[in-house]
Amino acid sequence: MELKIGVPELAKALARSQGIVEKKTTMPILSHVLLEAKKGGKLHVSATDLDVSVSGEHDCEVAREGAVAVSARHLYDIVKSLPDAQATLKKAQNNYLEITSGSAEFRIVGLPAEDFPALPKFDKVKFAAVSPKDLLAMIELTSFAVSTDETRYNLNGVYFEPAAGELRLVATDGHRLSLARKAISADFGLKKGIILPKKGLAELRKLLQESLEGAEENPEVKLGFVESSAVVARPRVTLVMRLIEGVFPDYRQVIPKQGEKAVKLGRLRFLETLRRVSLLSSDKAHAVKLDLSPGLLKVLSQNPDLGEAKEEVPVEYQGEPLRIGFNARYLTDVLQAVPGDDVLLELADDLSPGVLKPVGDDGYTAVIMPMRI
């Protein structure tokens, strides 16, 4: 194998692999990327952890076809440091890879291409086109609420549910729930909702951002489902992720009907207040107290080891007073993600969950369980 390729193009290809390759693994090959120089001036760069895999095609000058697997991290670090705009890659004896750029020369240990796991091939995927902008927005509105408790594996991803004329993405960790809805006409051919894994979603998010930052006028991403995998295709890049097997809880039962007390707040002001006041909340629980009265919301925190903090926020509210506790991080996660200037906080009593929505946008709902303080 021997080829010449632009350093920025190679760096972009290797950057895609960094979140996928396994850092600590009993299979050393899973920390490697597969480089394949093919006819027609194409370099294929692939990475997999057996659950999530990505493969990209890149223009280059191929002098000799061939393939080799090399450490993804070390090759990426080398490529980022190269002095010239072009690099030559050459496979030497015993699967060494020689990298030359300007006056810099590197020679790194590789593994045979045959040792690299076979990447899944799906020839009969029924793809549906989706807007990268809309899908990215929905992922950003939900992925922060995914559970990190590995014993609750069915909550370790985002529930993807196409309904009549719309798509719903839902995530919950048992303490909060995030639901994003978008009108969409795509037919994914799914009879029921599926669960996309957190790691696969992180890689999908990168691909969507890359698509939006590219030179295409109307970027498009295709999404398809086959067997137990989701396949994402955009020009010259394919991402495959294994779906989480399990039943996602019925999220509709968790969303309360409209709360009796509806409070309208400035989103950024509320966000900054929570950040300040929670500096003195207890480390693990991030507990803050909301003291609501007509026209005013007091946000308070108390920590016996540190002290206390209090700040007042003007609000649009004329109902009965209420005092309720929340995990400040759960509120700030939502406030950082939602668009718009104002949010609506719906409350019933100090034991019922709070519902947070952007004003004038019924496409997003967050449900947050209260805390006893």
- Contact residues for 213 (Cβ-Cβ < 8 A; gap 6+): none
In CATH, 127-251 is 3.40.190.10:
no
Just give the CATH number of 2-115. Answer: 3.10.150.10
Q: Are 34 and 69 in contact (CB under 8 A)?
A: yes
Q: What CATH architecture applies to the domain 256-368?
A: Roll (3.10)
- Report the C-alpha gap between 14 and 46 in whole angstroms: 9
Structure confidence at residue 345 (pLDDT) = 96
Structure confidence at residue 216 (pLDDT) = 67
In one letter, which amino acid is 227? E
Q: Which of 4-8, 108-112, 185-189, 321-325 has the lowest mean pLDDT?
A: 185-189
**pTM tops 0.75, yes or no:** yes
Strands 221-226 and 127-130, bridge-based pairing: antiparallel
What pLDDT, in 10s, does the model give residues 77-121?
999 999 999 999 999 999 999 999 999 999 999 999 999 999 888
Bridge partners for 350 per DSSP: none
| 89 CB burial (10 A radius; 0-12, 13-18, 19+) | buried
| 194 CB burial (10 A radius; 0-12, 13-18, 19+) | buried
Q: Give yes or no on whether 2-115 and 127-251 have one common fold.
A: yes
Provide the pLDDT confidence category of residue 147 given band limits of 50, 70 and 90. Answer: very high
Q: Give which of 310, 307, 362 is closest to 338, Cα–Cα.
A: 362
CB atoms within 10 A of CB 116: 21
What pLDDT, in 10s, does the model give residues 271-302?
999 999 999 987 777 899 999 999 999 999 99
- Contact residues for 15 (Cβ-Cβ < 8 A; gap 6+): 76
* Residue 201 per-residue DSSP state: H
* Residue 103 per-residue DSSP state: T
Q: What are phi and psi of 187, to 5 degrees?
A: -110, 110
CA torsion angle 257 298 327 349 (round to 10): -30
What pLDDT, in 10s, does the model give residues 29-59?
999 999 999 989 999 999 999 999 999 999 9
- The domains of the chain are located at 2-115, 127-251, 256-368
